Amino acid sequence: MKKKKLNFQKFIFRLLFYFSVILIIFISIKLFNNFEKNFNYLYYYFICSFIVFFYFLFILIKKYSEYFFIITISILISFYIFEFYYVFKNINNEFQNTYEKKEYDKNILKLNFYNQNKENDNSTIIGFNSLNYFKSSQKLLPLTHASNSNIIGCNEDGFYSKFVSDKYGFNNPNDVWEENKKNIIILGDSFVEGSCVFRKNNIVSNIQKLNSNFNFINLGIGGTSIISQYAILKEFIKKNTVQIFLFYYEGNDLNEIKIESKNQILLNYLKNPNFTQNLKENTKVSDEIIRNNFEIEKKIFLQKKIKFHNHDFQKNIKKKISYLSDAIKLKNSRKLLTYLHEKKTPQERRHLDKEIILYKNTLLKIKTLLDKENIELVFVYLPEFGRYDTYKYYKYKFKDYSQYHYRKILEILKKENIRHIDIHQLIFLQEKDPLDCFPQRQPGHYNAKCYFKISEILNKFIVK
């Protein structure tokens, strides 16, 4: 009986051995032809080499052959348990279009909330991402929201945020533009604007409560990166400004700068130091473009016929087969391990460097502009959700996240002698549970509690 068992183990091991040898030869040829392109095949190469190694141990050391067999089979089974768990999750979630349906339902709820507010306030408009306007054929490019309007924001924590924009379209009360105190400007994207919280809980409002010696102006606009922010600063900087806090969000700023760099009007700000659209004087034109674009976006959404579940049975069948095929090839395990060992190819590194160089060049233009006016620049680094919930975030977006960005940005700040605040170090690493800073512990903007902590940190860096 024991001999039959050993023969069966030998037979299984021999099959795995032959299969692995064939794969090793195939992968070696692929890597030899183009190592960078086929880098991910190394995962299969190591797995197959591991099986070959244990096969020889199985043959040579018969005393422990059963243990070698159990170890090899257990490792393979573990990988496949993970793979088929992943398939099961996808079949239950993706094929029911839960993500798409949630997004659709969320937009319907937002539109309903907009309609309810519109009945009471005709100025109501949804605060669309400003990147939507970059494809506009108009000669003037809006950089803010509609002015003096009821702006509907996002819902990440169980309620829709909203605010009444100032006379230029920012999340401020209008009196900040009339204040005679020394000014401090907070510049950035949706985190500065205060997305998904009410105005009283955003960073700028909090710091104004903590420090009454200065007038704080919010120039944050959601969806912007540093080129748009440079343009906003040139258009709306207020006299008697003594300090500017420039926010950087690692989650999307480098992706958005690629889009911004393709817009000719934004590039004009970089190329010509005297270029301006005179947006303060052209508020009515800007508002008209924003509202026209909003009506177009609203019509497009209402015309969409989203089909769920069995809207395309054949397509779903093909997709299910592809998921099973990926599981057999251990594709998801390979992706996870590739991420954990995070090795960027030289081509990917060069691509990242282009974005970082563009960011650096724009940052230096801001610094030069402020140095001429004797205004201090303080850089604020904001971390994303993925740092603190690695696996969960990996399933959705984590392949785009890189520690490489973090190191490079900090190197630039040190080299250029720019004061900076690292929120990752000063707040999140001090938290017992960093996920408590996010809405319902999910990816998104920070919650009111964390915005207040950032305001406290900023207050310590204010000029004396």
What token pair was written down for 89? Answer: 């999750």
Q: Domain-by-domain residue ranges, the chain?
A: 2-96, 101-312+338-460
Q: What is the mean pLDDT of residues 435-451?
A: 92
* pLDDT bucket at 65, cuts 50 / 70 / 90: low
**% of the chain at pLDDT higher than 70:** 69
Query: At residue 439, does pLDDT exceed 80?
Result: yes
pLDDT at res. 189: 96
Question: CB under 8 Å to 437, separation ≥6 — which residues?
Answer: 427, 428, 431, 446, 447, 449, 450, 453
pLDDT at site 247: 98
Better pLDDT: 25 or 280 = 280
* Contact predicate 222/194, CB 8 Å: no
User: For residues 52 and 60, is the Cβ–Cβ distance under 8 A?
Assistant: no
- pLDDT score, position 1: 52
**Selection from 170, 187, 173 nearest residue 241 by Cα:** 187
CATH superfamily of 101-312+338-460: SGNH hydrolase (3.40.50.1110)
Higher pLDDT, 6 or 216: 216
Amino acid symbol at 372: K
Alpha carbons 278 and 140: distance in angstroms, whole number: 10
When pLDDT is cut at 50, 70 and 90, the band that residue 22 belongs to is: confident
Q: How high does pLDDT run on average in the chain?
A: 81
**Greater pLDDT, 415 or 41:** 415
- What are the two backbone dihedrals, phi and then psi, of residue 127, each rounded to the nearest 5 degrees? -75, 80
pTM > 0.75 = no
**Confidence category of residue 329, pLDDT binned at 50, 70, 90:** low
Mean local confidence (pLDDT), 278-300? 90
Rounded CA gap, 99 and 95, in Å? 10
Q: Which amino acid is at 19?
A: F
| Least confident among 18-27, 54-63, 241-250 | 54-63
Three-state DSSP class for 367? helix
Average pLDDT over every residue of 360-388 = 94
Asked if 334 and 126 touch (Cβ cutoff 8 Å), the reply is no
